[in-house]
Amino acid sequence: MDEEPNKYGFLPSVWAAMAKEERRRHSKNWGARNRYPTRTKAQKQRMRQLQKEFRERNRERLLPYWKARRDAAKLVEGAREKERAYQRDYYWKTIEKQRARNKRRYAKERSIKKITLSPDEVFKLINKAVSRAIPKFVRDDVIAEMCLAVLEGKLFIENIGKEASKFLAAHNRAFDHFKTISVDTKISEGVTILDTLTQESLGYV
């Protein structure tokens, strides 16, 4: 005798072999689909008519409830409009900062992508920007620092020429032990370097 599917759509033998949790899940899904059958158009119209008649019969009793709902909706809409106004004001107050931040972010992404895909081309740009008048070992260090800065997103491709001098100055501050200082620098109370200079120390008569 052939088996017929049960109301859940499974053969009795298959249903019996299922775990308890699986049967419960199928039963729950079936109940959710069939608990509220789809109404016809006529049934929906009849339901709307009954609701309308109920509101008309109980108008006085429902007025406070409707008023409370309108007031709550106004409060919610007022809070929403206040938040929208704040967001608009904040946007227009900070639009220049946002644009500058986005510009820096895009420049950083372009620079990292450029040095990753074309390191030789970036190296040529840096090599051209760094002065050849400085000692070679200093120049090599500055170029290496600039390449690392581009790779880390701290130096943008379009700023290589303008910021080369900054990297050279930073290198000199870090490694140059022969600093140039002002003659007005105080060496003791009321005494500056200028006070200690003589014609003999200056090397001319």
- Give a yes or no: residue 93 inside a domain: no
Specify the residue for token string 């227009």.
92
Per-residue model confidence (pLDDT) at position 86: 92
Within 10 A of 171 (CB to CB), how many other CB atoms are there? 16
List pLDDT tens digits, range 3-44: 788 888 888 888 888 888 888 988 888 877 777 667 788 988
Per-residue model confidence (pLDDT) at position 131: 85
Per-residue model confidence (pLDDT) at position 205: 44
User: Same domain for 129 and 187?
Assistant: yes
Percent of the chain with pLDDT over 70: 84
- Give a yes or no: residue 181 inside a domain: yes
Per-residue model confidence (pLDDT) at position 175: 74
Do β-strands 191-192 and 186-188 pair in parallel, antiparallel, or remain unpaired? antiparallel
Distance (Å, rounded) from C-alpha 134 to C-alpha 140? 10
Is the pTM of the predicted complex or chain greater than 0.75?
Answer: no
Q: 88, 120, 145: which is the final residue of a domain? A: 88
User: Same domain for 167 and 117?
Assistant: yes
Count of structural domains within the chain:
2
CB 11 within 8 A of CB 2: no
- Give a yes or no: residue 141 inside a domain: yes
- Give a yes or no: residue 101 inside a domain: no
User: Same domain for 133 and 67?
Assistant: no
- Give a yes or no: residue 73 inside a domain: yes
Per-residue model confidence (pLDDT) at position 99: 93
User: Same domain for 77 and 138?
Assistant: no
5 vs 178, residue with greater confidence: 5
- Give a yes or no: residue 20 inside a domain: no
- Give a yes or no: residue 122 inside a domain: yes
Q: Which domain holds residue 65?
A: 45-88
